[in-house]
A and B are shown apart, each in its own frame.
Chain A
Amino acid sequence: MTTTILFLLFALVTLAGAIGTVTERKLFHAALWMLLSFFGVAALYVLLEAPFFAAVQLFIYMGAIGILIIFALMLTRGSMREGGPYLNDQWWLVALLAVVLLVVVGWLLWQQYGSVMAVHAVDEGSLVQLGRVLSEQDGYALPFEVASVLLVMALIGAVTIVRER
């Protein structure tokens, strides 16, 4: 019972934040709405009994990515002051398609997974297990390393692109 109410509450928060993000004219406010949406997702992760990811969500998304976006907003502030439309001329088609897509997919999902309920409780040592699986050779060690390489590349790439000549 509680779970349901909590779910509905945080789902609402998340969606509200998302919609706010995409409909807010002022960009800074949009970014704040986005942060709210991230928070809602983190709460949902707690409900899904994945506390680690809730933490990660807060650190990475709200912390790093959100701040990064705000920095970018500030760095590109000049031309986007006020005025002018904030939507391009295909927004209505996109809205339509998005709605259609949502309706169809949603209906399909309801058909398929409408009656699937949660299984038994999760084991407590899931974090240790995650760590173990990410470093085991026949686990996900290779993807882990590749991900590290990806991050390094991204770092180097970003620095290179943005470097002042």
Chain B
Amino acid sequence: MAGGDANATRLKPAKLALLCELMPDETTASFVSRLAARNGVGSAAVFCKHFGTTFRKVCEGDPRAKGIIAAISGLDPGVLSNMAVRPLDRLFVHNGQVLRKEGLSRRDVRYCPSCLDDDLEQSVRADLVPQYGRSQWLFVILARCPHHSEPLRTIFNPRSEHIEDFTWHLRNRTPSTRLP
């Protein structure tokens, strides 16, 4: 019985009751990171394991992982695939754009504090995890926030822990400012 339940869960997990809204310019990794926090799980890696996949596979747009996240979030798998940063040979594809590896900051987390303040202000409840990672913050070439014109902050991640787990880094790491 229990085994049967587990198998059924692996095949088609039910939609979660505690959800987040995918923002228009949000990466799939940031979305899953927030979804994990919304559901009370400490990291996106553990959250993905709960549903029989890995965060790495989700970030890279693996079809099965994408299907699982689509099922539990109720989102269109195509949208999740589009907003993922998927490896393609020695390049990456994101939102229809082909990108070079060196042009992306995937290990370190970059953000604009004013944008995150705006996220909090616009949300009715903090436990809805409103602060999200914008895809443009991944681009190394972007040093300042296009909306607030202030330098992006960086949370360095030298040990490659929790790569792309945006909410985990905001909660557990101290940022520093990288000057333009």
State yes or no: do A and B come from one complex. Answer: no
Q: Which residues of B contact A (CB under 8 A)?
A: none
Q: Which residues of A contact B (CB under 8 A)?
A: none
